Amino acid sequence: MPKIVLRGKHVINLGGWIVENVANLPYRDYIVGNPFDEPVKIEAPIYSIEDINALKKLGLIVEPLLPHENLVEKINKIKSLIK
């Protein structure tokens, strides 16, 4: 499976990496933050909740984006948690 690198202390939006026609996820978008100083390789694209759980097991901050939430505000919230 392909991997992407999430640099240390950075946040990404997985919306473009979720395969919606295959994934059985409760949310269409997730925000992932790397609280570590070193980069972390993560598997992409995301196909299932097991893939999301694997990110959590790596120690990454994983937050779903709820329909009423603002993407930029959520990214900034995660950024504030990792600094």
Q: Which domain, by its residues, includes 60?
A: 3-82
DSSP single-letter state for residue 59: T
- Confidence check: pLDDT of 63 > 80: yes
39-56: pLDDT as tens digits: 999 999 999 999 999 999
- How many domains does the chain fold into? 1
With H, G, I as helix, E, B as strand and everything else as coil, classify residue 58.
coil
Average pLDDT of span 20-47: 92
With H, G, I as helix, E, B as strand and everything else as coil, classify residue 60.
coil
* Local confidence band at 18 (pLDDT 50, 70, 90 cut-offs): confident
- β pairing state of 61-64 and 11-13: unpaired
Q: In the block, which residue shows the tokens 């990214």? A: 75
What pLDDT, on a 0 to 100 scale, did the predictor assign at position 25? 87
CB atoms within 10 A of CB 79: 15
Q: Are 42 and 10 in contact (CB under 8 A)?
A: no
